[in-house]
Amino acid sequence: MKAFVIEKDKIKHNINTVKEKISVPLVGVIKGDGYGMGLAFMAQMLKECGIAHFAVTEPQDALLLRQEGFSEEEILLMRSTCVEEDLQTIVDTHATATVGSLESARLLNIVAKKNNTVLSAHIKIDTGMGRYGFLESELDKVKSVFTDYENIKVTGIYSHLCCAYCSDKKTYKQFAIFKNVVEKLKAAGFDTGLVHLANSAALFRYKDMSLGGVRIGYALIGRVLNAKNTGLLPTGYLQCEIADIKWLPKGHTLGYGSGFTTKRPTQIAIIPVGVKDGFLVGKQRDTYRFRDYILYILSESKKFFTKSKIGVTVNGKKAYVLGHIGQGHTVIDITGMDVKAGDMAIFDINSIFVNPTIPRVYV
Ligand SMILES: *Cc1c(COP(=O)(O)O)cnc(C)c1O
């Protein structure tokens, strides 16, 4: 059966590895269906490792977690919202809101008042991500969140790093802006509560960014960009049986666009896994910045000259992909390997890209 296999002990190993690295509270980020692993499952893993503070992006996720029985844990909704339905869900789930603008504070306060409650909220500072949050220059607005809204209790403040995986300079700049805002608030006598900034990349790349707490997602599933020797383990893989095998003669084309022509008689295996399942989706080119564009061109030409190949594991051995990967199919070269139709092929896929319709199997 095609399935995404998730290894519980490896996820726990990763949670514990993160815990050992820090001396401040860990907020377990489980957005996007727990990075594709399953929301309630990831919450359970964190709970079993003693973590009772979760963070999600959708109010609906807070609701799901409460319904799944996570009634005591603190759930931070990591975005502000001016949508009444979302605000009501925050009240209903007694989640911790994010206030990133005065309008979101005003509306949150109204909904909290209407429900006769006081809601916890963390203030978000935009230090460079350019999405939610107050700018450094809006300190007066930030102060008014503390003072002007009776039904909001500020219990934390945070910012989000945009470049922790790729730029020391930008990351240190964001860190400095954030620290400056927090220090000014403290100097003015405000209790900022939990002060948090670092994500996975920042935790594993910088020693001194933990502040009062860290928000960690990717590290829990063992994937941190541009960090070496993390001690983290990969936690999941896609498995699928080989549907059929056959021999192709020399000079036979293969796949869409005839992207490959056999140079010798070649035994192939066909596996019904392709882009729609998430295979190689994460490897799509990232060319937002000119530098990324140049790096992309360089890496593609390097691949062309070195013929670097994409691998799939079968019976413990690497087999290489031939031709273009299709929407639903991948072809691998099994010449000289001991492989039969029905043998299991293992694909390394980032869980966030694994099609949600593929069953998750927990081992
Ligand atoms: C996703 C996210 C995180 C966690 O980032 P990782 O790189 O997965 O550790 C932290 N904070 C915010 C606001 C996020 O959206």
**Ligand 1 mutation pick, 215, 221, 232, max ligand atoms within 8 A of CB:** 215
Rounded Cα gap, residues 296 and 287, in angstroms: 7
Structure confidence at residue 161 (pLDDT): 98
Distance 216 CA to ligand 1 centre (A): 6
How far is ligand 1, taken at its centre, from the CA of residue 215, in Å? 6
The whole-number pLDDT of residue 307 equals 60
Give this prediction's pTM: 0.92
- CB of residue 90 inside a 6 A radius of ligand 1: no
Strands 317-321 and 311-314: antiparallel
pLDDT, residue 300, reads: 65
Non-local CB neighbours of 341 within 8 Å, separated by 6+ positions:
241, 242, 243, 244, 245, 269
Closest ligand 1 atom number to CA of residue 57: 15
Q: How far is CA 217 from CA 20, 145, 226, 330, 344, in A?
A: 16, 28, 15, 30, 29
Index of the ligand 1 atom closest to the CA of residue 31: 1
Strands 152-159 and 119-125 turn out to be: parallel
Q: Which residue ranges of the chain lie beneath pLDDT 50?
A: none
Task: Give the ligand 1 atom nearest the CA of 203.
Answer: 9
Percent of the chain with pLDDT over 70: 94
Please report the pLDDT score of residue 305 as a whole number: 64
Q: Measured between alpha carbons, how far is 177 from 185 in angstroms, rounded to an integer?
A: 13
Is 230 a pocket residue for ligand 1 (Cβ < 6 Å)?
no
Q: Minimal CA–CA distance to 47: which of 71, 67, 23?
A: 71
The ligand 1 atom at the shortest distance from the C-alpha of residue 200 is 9
